[in-house]
Amino acid sequence: MPTVYPPVARAFDSVTLPVDLEIDAAQSVNIPLQTLADALKRLQTMHVANFAPVELNPSFYSIRGASPGKLSLAFPSDLWCVVGGPGSTTAEIYISTSGELWESVSGLITNTPPGPVLIGLNAVAHDETLGVWVAVGDPEGGDAYIVSSSSPQSAWTERATTVNASLRSVASNGAGVFVAVGDGGVLIRSVDGTTWTTGASGTGNDLRKVVWVGALSKWIAVGGLGPTARIIWSADGIAWTIATNPGTAACHDVAWDGTALCATLVNGTVLTSTNGTSWTLVAAPGYPAFASVAIAGDPSGVLLASALVGLYASFDHGASFQSVGSAGAANNVYGTMDVQAIAFGNGRFVIAGGTGSVGVGLRRG
């Protein structure tokens, strides 16, 4: 049976608690606060951030044993999934129904030839029609690594591909089509999560993120190189068009908030669009001039983005951002957490970081 790890720390309002205390799976989660405090390794104070008419109130949990490195989140239906693991360790997959209690299923990965999967997984997605999960990663023996599962608590199976590049992102349209993108403009497509076909993205720039926007009936992929932002779009995942944009740096991520798309650039600016084909460069007051990492949106118009110095929320489709938490160093999410992925589902934002930690922020309004 997979090992279930209880949440080892939570932060409420301004209460200070440890964030990375290791608790064995057999131990009770009802541990006295003083016992936790005496055994802490790091302290962190979280602050409630009130933004009318919503409240973002993050609480943080540790995935014990998770390695630092690449982490990605997906939330279809009622299950969260985090993947990661640097190339120096085995690939890692964790699942949760709440974002708080996480179950390791890394040991269920089967590959050819049998043995440890010394590959980092970069992204994960789920297709509701197929009932299939797909996770993608770095090359293994020359080809990009892909695993899929129809039951994440049972087995994950390696799938063949001839793409010799790191795959950075994968997405589903929920109707039986997956698209994955990666370094050098690599793009592949599948209608079952098992067999993959190489496509033509029309660009040689690295592609960092791909999403399906149902309201627009379009796939959007973003990336770039140096001072160039690259955005491409497609209606079917086969024929792709390069969208003209005024971006002055590579894109790292993109999200839909129910009304508009917002793409984060690595120089702290953002690109916004209501149709995926025409884009506007926004200085985004309140967003720091540091490398953007991740962004996610909920359907009611809230965006949550990360930068090197913390979390930022936008309630005007990326035109401006507000810090989530207190100003200064305390806004660095917590400790040394390197936020690498943000996802929204079931009324909450969940963030994942390179310390093997996960934050859950309820969104109410």
CA pair distance 64, 92, nearest whole angstrom: 12
Left, alpha or beta for 191 (phi > 0: left; psi -120 to 50: alpha)?
A: alpha
Rounded CA separation 83/62 (Å):
14
CB 86 within 8 A of CB 70: yes
pLDDT of 288: 67
pLDDT at 321: 86
Q: Quickly state the pLDDT bin for 95 (edges 50, 70, 90).
A: confident
Instruction: Kindly report the CATH number assigned to the domain that includes residue 179.
Output: 2.130.10.10
Amino acid symbol at 168:
R
**Smallest Cα–Cα separation from 123: which of 133, 132, 113?**
133
Residue count of the chain, please give it.
365
What are 281-338's pLDDT values in tens digits?
A: 998 777 766 566 688 998 888 888 887 667 788 889 999 888 775 333 333 444 445 6
Q: Where is pLDDT greater, at 201 or 91?
A: 201
Pairing verdict, β 167-172 and 121-127? unpaired
* DSSP-assigned states of every residue in 246-299: --SS-EEEEEE-SS-EEEEETTS-EEEESSSSS-EEE--TTS-SS-EEEEEEET
Plot region of 108 (φ>0 → left; ψ -120 to 50 → alpha; else → beta) = alpha
State residue 38's pLDDT score. 34
Highest mean pLDDT among 75-84, 86-95, 285-294, 323-332: 75-84
* Alpha-helical segments (H) within 16-81: 33-38
**The pTM of the whole model exceeds 0.85:** no
Could you give the number of structural domains in the chain? Answer: 1
- Looking up tokens 């669009």 gives 273
Q: For strand 155-159 and strand 109-110, is the pairing parallel, antiparallel, or unpaired?
A: parallel
pLDDT over 50 (residue 36): no
Tell me the pLDDT band of 220, cut-offs 50, 70 and 90. very high
Q: What is the per-residue DSSP string for 38-88?
A: HT-S-EEE---EEETTEEEEEEEEE-TTPPSS--EEE--TT-EEEEE--TT
Q: Note the pLDDT tens digit of each residue in 241-282.
A: 999 999 989 998 999 999 999 998 888 789 999 999 999 999
Q: Is 242 helix (H, G, I), strand (E, B) or coil?
A: strand
Which residue range forms the structural domain that includes residue 20?
4-364
pLDDT value at position 309? Answer: 61
pLDDT in tens, 155-179: 899 998 989 999 999 999 999 999 9
With CA atoms as reference, report the closest residue to 275 among 257, 261, 288, 293. 261
pLDDT of amino acid 108: 85
* Range scoring the smallest mean pLDDT among 18-32, 49-63, 123-137: 18-32
pLDDT at 126 over 50: yes
